[in-house]
Amino acid sequence: MEARSLSCIVVETPQEIQLFYYGAGLYFVLHWFEALDGFSLFVLFVYCITSFALAESDVNKLYSLKDSFTKTKGFLQSWFDSEIPPCNWWGVTCEGRTVVAIDLSSVPLHSPFPSGIMAFQSLVGLYLSGCGISGEIPEALGNLQHLQYLDLKNNQLTGPIPGSLYNLKMLKEIVLDKNSLSGQLSPSIAQLQHLTKLSTYINSISGALPPELGSLQKLEYLNLGRNHFTGNIPSEICNLKWLKDLSLFECNLSGNIPRSIGRLKSLQVLNLSGNKFNAELPASVGELRSLTHLSLNNARLRGSIPKELGNCKKLVQINLSYNAFISSIPEELAGLEDVVNFQGEMNKLSGHVPDWIKNWESVDLGYNKLSGSIPPTICQANSLRSLILRNNNLIGNISETFIGCKNLTNLNLQGNNLCGEIPKYLAELPLVHLDLSHNNFTGVLPSKLWESLTILEISLNNNQLTGLIPESISKLHSLQLLDMGHNCLEGPIPPSVGGLRNLNILVLDRNRLSGNIPQELFNCRNLVTLNLSSNKLTGHIPRAISQLTLLTSLVLSHNQLSGSIPAEICWGFTNEAHSDKEYLQHHGFLDLSYNQLSGPIPASIKNCSILVQLHLQGNSLNGSIPAEFSDLANLTTVDLSFNSLVGPMLPWSVPLPLQGLYLSNNHLSGNIPAEIGNILPNIMTLDLSGNAFMATLPQSLLCSKSLSHLDVSNNNLSGQIPLPCPGDKELSRSLAFFNASFNHFSGSLDESISNFSQLSFLDIRNNSLTGSLPSSLSNDSYLNYLDLSNNDFSGTFPSGICNISSITFANFSGNHIGMNNLSDCVAPCICTANSINHNRVHPPHVILRAATICAIALTIVISLVLLVVYVRRKLLRSTSQVLVRSSEAKATREPTSSDELLGQKSWEPPSINLATFESVLLRVTKDDILKATDNFSEVHIIGSGGFGTVYRAALPEGQRVAIKRLHGYRQFQGDREFLAEIETIGKVKHRNLVPLLGYCAHDNQRVLIYEYMHHGSLEMWLRNRADAAEALGWPARLKICLGSARGLRFLHHGFVPHIIHRDMKSSNILLDENMEPRVSDFGLARIISAYETHVSTNVAGTPGYIPPEYGLAMKCTAKGDVYSFGVVILEVLTGRPPTEQKDMEEGDGNLVSWVRWMTAHGRQGELFDPCLPVSGLWRKQMSCVLSIAEECTADEPCKRPTMAEVVKGLKMIQLMEHEPHNAHGHQA
């Protein structure tokens, strides 16, 4: 009763019981201090009462905060459990009854910043990462004066960092990564003198780096990467004596790296990659004696690698790639004995390959100017696991060079001048990948090579290898890729090749192989790419080709094959038979050209449903063009030229997405269909020359938005040449090549010919055209080749034509043109006219002789040579344009300037094969992009990742697309490497990959255009969508796992070059309008970082997804992707993020460790997402999928399955009988 009277309560309810115990506790404390005087006792009593009132206030605030989280009730179950006291709620930490920390990381709040949090005045830690919070950071956050830890990363926050944040002088850590914050870093940051960590990477913060950063004397971690800063690195940063990690990668920084950087004695990680320094690396970097990781790739550094770098004895990772370093690699680096990975590719390093790299595990010095021979002692230390020396100037042989490399798994010597025979000892090494292509190796293939137990890929193409392909080749049972093209191999293809049952890609082109194609070859039923072109193969194409049901690329061109095209050839070019087993080089590529094939094109061609390119030219095929072509919805290129085909041009009327159609030199006849513009809406190149077409040329053809190359020469066409589309100049701008010579066209040539504003080649000779030459021709500034000879033109010669700077050939002879103005033109025989008038001075035999000489010179020399120049320099001229797949994209002549996006236009010809993209590529100006994104307004941002910022946009015709503006791009030499990568990615077509629609390359800006994915990312659905429980039931989740696995496996195993994703994660799995998964961002590491086998630590993955072996070596592998995909499966199963698992007693908090910990403690049943069903067959399926995920996330790469095995396992699980009631999500 005494305790009760002290507390002044009546003990009846649970809350009153709590008050009773509090009062009792206070009573005993008072008795403990009963010796104190009265005043001290009074002070203690007042303090306790005040503390109690404050604590009770925090509890009430928690209830208020809970009321704002009703939409996320499923993720905060303890908050809505009346039996659990507020201080025991998940994510809440109290001291006594005062709330000191709130951690709601990965809870999908999907709302503006929760205002109720600002009420907790005693808050020390606030963690709201990955909550889908949008809007600006509120100024009121600055009222939390006790705040020490603030984590708001991975949200959709916008606007500047509020100034009030700099008033929180107790702050120790600020983490704002992966948002869309803008504005500048304020100099007021100097007020945060307790700050140890500042991280804002992947935002849009701009302006100069404030020198005041250098006053943060306790700072240990500074990461400001992937922002839009300007100017230099302030030297004041070098005052941070406790700094351990300095990451300023891809920040648009310029100038010099401060020479005082050597004062950062505690620095362990230095990442300045992706900047624009245009300076030398200071020697003072050698004073960083604690440095372990150095990343300077793509930093525009020049000069020599400083020898002082050899003083950094703790270095483990060094990345100097894609710079302009010259001279030799300093000998002082020999003392760096702890180096695991050294990347120096794409520089200008010269000298010899140092033998001391034998102490390192992975070395990439490709694309340099190294010379001499590879040192014979390079393997003495047995450390080398991966050595890449491709594209240097190395000479000599390797007869004994690598004999001691007992741990070497990857050897790439492509593109050197190495010679001698391929040594036998290579079979005894643990090689997995061997590339000796593009060298001068000679001799026969060593029989020992086929006895290797580990090798999966062999590339020996472009050498001078001779002899036979040995029968022993069948011993390489595990071989997946064999490329021995461009050699001098002879004899038959041995039947034993059929023993390579795992072979996906076989390339033997450009050899001297003879005999028939062996029947046994078709036992290699995993083949997806078969190239036997340019040999001396004879006989028929075997009907056993039907066994290659996975085939998607077949090239048998330039042989002596005869007989008919077997109907069974299309058993492999289908979707249905192998929808989950597609390994592609050129998806849907069939080339049987330049053989001796006869007979008709089989009607079964319609079964080649995935056919994209068909090349049958140069044979003796007869019959008509099959109407079944209309069933090939993916067809973009058809070449049937130089055959004996008869009948009409287009025996179908339905539209096809053809971009290139070549029908020249056949016996086709009839009219060109008037509706051809509708049948071929995407046509870019149309060659109908050398046939017997009659009647007129349809105007709908010349009104095509996409047509750039039209050849109708050597036919029987008549009537007028149709003018460009009347009233719509836009429709005529794309035509660049027009040849209508040797026909019967008549009438005049109208002035509106100049509407063909892109025209560079015009040949209409040998017709019956009349009237005056249109003076508007002089307005065609791109005109390069002009031949109007042998018509009936009259009047005066328009001298303005000769003012066209680009013109290299013009011929007006055989007309009735006055020559008064010709003297002002270019040299005779380059620009000629033959005036038929009665005041001639020269006798006929002189004119005849001159005309003959000119004709010979022009026709034989200039016509051929300049046509080649024209094709290479003019038709493929890069005009700073966007290439976009769209059937109705607007064509324009020349993009206008923009200070933000464009510099001067580049004349570097792109190496893009337009016909390899899925649909037509049309020109869209940069202004269309700027307009679609409101000048890259933040309002249109739908994501910001490691490679760039993504904007939602609509093209002028309304097509919705996603536009990715790449971060940190450094222009390649002439853009050839960038364009080559774009061409590679553009060829990647799979239903579970996000297709690339186009690109824009201007100055130092790179923009990629992708198909828009309506339902966003898997990550968003797992953590930021309130309706995820309904939409992502178990069948839907299993469908997503299987589909994305198919996409990733497609990248790994059969597309050449193989593509390693390098950043597989749930945010890179997008969902289309049918919730079908699409893997995105594949191949971008090669564009952004320009790596092909390695990437730096800031590119190779995302925390939580990075496999453990990447901590030892930065070599990215397919098994690394498998690990990352295993983490994605765990996310799907658990609904949890890949990091920051709080409910485990040990480990580093990542999802893999948490799953292992829960399993080890017998709590496997608690792993699965509570939103998923708890019983029945679905739970059995989830357990099976969990087993696959555990295999994928094994610590040792060799214990992980391949993606092919993952797909097989997931499909077997999906085929289990489903429960009859699907109440928790739609059926996949």
Give the DSSP letter string of 540-572. Answer: PPPGGGGG-TT--EEE--SS--EEPPPGGGGGS
d(CA 14, CA 1030): 38
pLDDT of res. 754: 77
Q: Which element (helix H / strand E) includes 591?
A: strand 589-591
Architecture of domain 708-733+737-781+783-875: Alpha-Beta Horseshoe (3.80)
The answer to whether the CB of 946 falls within 8 A of the CB of 1063 is: yes
pLDDT of res. 1139: 82
Residue 1204 tokens read as 């092919």
Residue 831 tokens read as 């620009």
d(CA 1129, CA 1145): 23
What is the number of residues in the chain?
Answer: 1228
Selection from 1080, 1145, 1140, 965 nearest residue 131 by Cα: 1140
d(CA 966, CA 226): 10
pLDDT of res. 731: 52
Superfamily designation of domain 1022-1228? Transferase(Phosphotransferase) domain 1 (1.10.510.10)
- In three-state secondary structure terms, 18 is helix
The answer to whether the CB of 312 falls within 8 A of the CB of 291 is: yes
The answer to whether the CB of 565 falls within 8 A of the CB of 591 is: no
Q: How far is CA 893 from CA 646, 709, 755, 760, 917, in A?
A: 38, 15, 10, 12, 22
Catalytic residues: 1063
Residue 168 tokens read as 């929180």
Residue 619 makes CB contacts below 8 A (sequence gap 6+) with: 592, 593, 594, 595, 596, 597, 598, 642, 643
The answer to whether the CB of 650 falls within 8 A of the CB of 628 is: no
pLDDT of res. 847: 39
d(CA 1020, CA 1023): 5
d(CA 424, CA 415): 21
pLDDT of res. 848: 42
DSSP 155-221: SEEEEEPPGGGGG-TT--EEE--SSEEESB--GGGGG-TT--EEE--SS--EEEPPGGGGG-TT--E
pLDDT of res. 99: 95
pLDDT of res. 22: 45
Residue 60 makes CB contacts below 8 A (sequence gap 6+) with: none
Alpha helices in 631-703 (DSSP H): 676-679, 699-702
d(CA 986, CA 529): 18
1010 — phi, psi (to 5°)? -120, 160
Pairing type for strands 948-954 and 941-944 reads antiparallel
CATH of domain 877-1012: 3.30.200.20
pLDDT of res. 884: 36
Q: Per the annotation, does 313 bind a ligand?
A: no
d(CA 256, CA 271): 15
The secondary structure of residue 739, as a DSSP letter, is: E
Mean pLDDT per segment of 10 residues, for the chain of length 1228 residues? 34 40 47 49 45 61 89 88 92 92 92 93 95 94 96 95 95 96 96 97 95 96 96 96 96 95 96 94 96 95 96 96 95 94 95 94 96 93 91 95 94 96 94 95 93 93 95 91 95 95 94 96 93 96 93 94 94 58 58 96 91 94 93 91 94 87 96 90 93 92 85 95 66 79 92 80 94 83 87 85 79 79 43 36 40 50 48 36 34 31 30 40 63 78 75 79 72 49 71 84 74 87 66 88 92 73 89 90 57 38 81 70 95 87 62 88 82 74 92 89 90 68 36
pLDDT of res. 755: 77
d(CA 231, CA 895): 30
Residue 511 makes CB contacts below 8 A (sequence gap 6+) with: 484, 485, 486, 487, 488, 489, 490, 534, 535
Selection from 622, 621, 590, 593 nearest residue 605 by Cα: 590
